[in-house]
Amino acid sequence: MAKARVAVLISGRGSNMAALVYAAKHPGCPFEIVLVAANDPEAPGLQFAQAEGIPTFALDHKGMKRAEFDALIDAQVRKAGTDYIALAGYMRLLSPEFVGKWEGRMLNIHPSLLPKYKGLHTHERAIAAGDTVAGCSVHVVTAELDDGPVLGQTEVAILPGDTPATLADRTLIAEHQLYSRELADYVTRESNPDWLLANIREIALALPETAEKPSHGSPGFFVEGGKFFAYFSHNHHQNGITGLLVKTSGVEEQAMLIDSDPALYYRPAYLGPSGWIGISLDQRPVDWAHVGEWLAKSWRMSAPKRLTKLLDVIDQI
């Protein structure tokens, strides 16, 4: 599989960026670093990146509007064919426009056990609070500072006599290991059947009165007291496909769908003759909104009138 292309944004030393660069040298690493960009042309990390033959881009943000500056960074990042952005000591708040464009595709490393100690001076605050453990977190970047979903953390013991500097030194060692591991997991999660199933499960079980039970070896989702409306299928009978099986209105709709997008839709074994459709989850990125629409549609075809009545009324208005 092609490696995920990662751009790293830095403001200074860049030791986390360096850790990502070295991790990416391992032949089995699922990502490569395609650009290192800085908002300070003097950032020492830039020299390291250049020495390692990684393209760099640096621009002083001073005097520029936040959104204007971010648009220039965005243009460079896109020119490099970036799939994901890793913030590594990037000390500049990002505009909502930039965060929106990279939603779900941008990670950050933060030197605390989030949600504790967002922002600056994390080690000082942990010591002052009398904590016995500090640590670091890798999280998805959202509009709120240091607030997105946490992907992973490493705890670091606070030793008697620790100063913010000694604690920061030890935490940095943990950061360097955590970041590359979490980034690797994140860029490969869509190829991980457990992750795909967890997402399907979350959407399916959010529909009214639904439950899960295995059926012929596949996780199945049904309306309580009623019928199955979805199955998660992973390499079923060695077909090599990870997919979601849902109901259509019948074999005609099924044929039309396969005709319209043969890479996305397929006719599943066994359930195919009854008009079920397979939706491939091997596509990148998975269109989760589309998956959600199909689950809701299939649920509606399987749920008792008592549950769908209101939806039928809304449709007629």
- Rule CB under 6 A: which residues touch ligand GRF? 10, 12-16, 88-89, 109-111, 136, 172, 175
- Of the two residues 110 and 236, which places its CB atom closer to ligand GRF in the complex? 110
- In this structure, is the dihedral angle defined by the CA atoms of residues 140, 144, 145 and 150, taken in order, positive or negative? negative
Pick 154 or 254: Cβ nearer ligand GRF? 154
What angle do helix axes 15-24 and 164-188 make, rounded to 10 degrees?
40
Closest approach of ligand GRF to the CB of residue 98, in Å:
17
Q: What is the side-by-side order of every strand in the sheet holding 106-110?
A: 56-58, 31-38, 4-10, 84-87, 106-110, 133-140, 150-157
Give the separation between CA 197 and CA 191, rounded to whole angstroms. 11
Distance from chain centroid for Cα 77: 18
Tell the smallest beta-carbon distance from residue 111 to ligand GRF (Å). Answer: 4
CB nearer ligand GRF, residue 16 or residue 210: 16
How are beta strands 84-87 and 4-10 bridged, if at all?
Answer: parallel
Nearest to 167 by CA among 203, 197, 127: 127
The least distance separating ligand GRF from the CB of residue 316, rounded to whole angstroms, comes to 54
Residue in this structure with the two tokens 């760099």, named with its chain if needed: 56
Min dist. Cβ of residue 103 to ligand GRF (A):
20
Active site residue 110: yes
**Of residues 131 and 282, the one with the C-beta less far from ligand GRF:** 131
The residue among 172 and 251 lying less far from ligand GRF, judged by its C-beta, is 172
Q: Which of 110, 123, 139, 236 is catalytic?
A: 110
Token output for 193: 């059947």
d(C-alpha 221, C-alpha 286), whole Å: 20
Name the residue with the smallest CB distance to ligand GRF.
89
Specify the residue for token string 């549609």: 297
Q: Kindly state the smallest distance separating residue 66's Cβ from ligand GRF, in Å.
A: 19
Q: How far is the CB of 105 from ligand GRF (least distance, A)?
A: 18
148 to 16, 114, 136, 239: CA distances (angstroms): 19, 10, 14, 37
Helix (H, G, I), strand (E, B) or coil at 303: coil
Dihedral sign, Cα of residue 189, residue 36, residue 17, residue 71: negative
Geometric angle at alpha carbon 106, from 111 and 50, rounded to 5°: 80
Cβ neighbours around 27 below 10 Å, total: 4
- Beta-sheet pairing, 242-247 with 265-266: unpaired
* Residues tagged active-site: 110
